[in-house]
Amino acid sequence: MNLSIVHLFDAPEHRVATAALIHHEFWLQVPGASVERMAARLALAHRADQLPLALIALHDSQLVGAINLVDNDDENHPEWHPWLAGMVVAPPWRGRGIGSALVTALLGHARRLGFERVYFGTDGPGFYTRLGALHQAQPQPGFWFMRFELQAGTSG
């Protein structure tokens, strides 16, 4: 598979499609959310040396996935940062290792930025535990807060 993972700012022609992919996966039922607002949020990821970061997976020139690293994604836990957010692979491309490649790439960027861990929330912990994530808390049935430890010699 000819897969490349790049910063969204290096492929701005994919910003609206990336926003639509994320919006339709996570924000469709959220009042006031829109593809346009998501695209505006993604535009804030305009440098590789600071948060937020937005990475996309391209098969040749086709958008097949996205992932973000943001400062915080849960107002109840401001001490947990940064956060992996909006990781999604387009449905026809799932099960091909693209999600794993996106997570691995994002964790590499987080390490280079000097972070010791990355937090996130998920309703599918199995995918992430296979990549080395640890359970942080389970605030409700079917939903987990998790983290990747990024210190030298650990998973992620």
Can you list the domains of the chain with their CATH numbers? 3-149 (3.40.630.30)
So what's the pLDDT on residue 74?
Answer: 87
So what's the pLDDT on residue 152?
Answer: 57
So what's the pLDDT on residue 7?
Answer: 98
Handedness of CA 31, 37, 42, 46 (dihedral sign): negative
Of 156, 131, 145, residue with least CA distance to 73: 145
Q: Give me the tens of pLDDT residue by residue for the chain, a chain 156 residues long.
A: 799 999 999 999 999 999 999 999 999 999 999 999 999 999 999 999 999 999 999 999 999 999 999 999 888 899 999 999 999 999 999 999 999 999 999 999 999 999 999 999 999 999 999 999 999 999 999 999 999 999 754 444
Strand-pairing partners, residue 48, are none
Q: Parallel, antiparallel, or unpaired for β 143-149 and 134-140? A: antiparallel
Which H or E run includes 62? Answer: strand 62-70
Rounded Cα distance, 105 and 41, in Å: 20
CA distances 57 to 31, 50, 115, 135, Å, are: 28, 20, 23, 26
**Residues 33/17, Cβ–Cβ less than 8 Å:** no
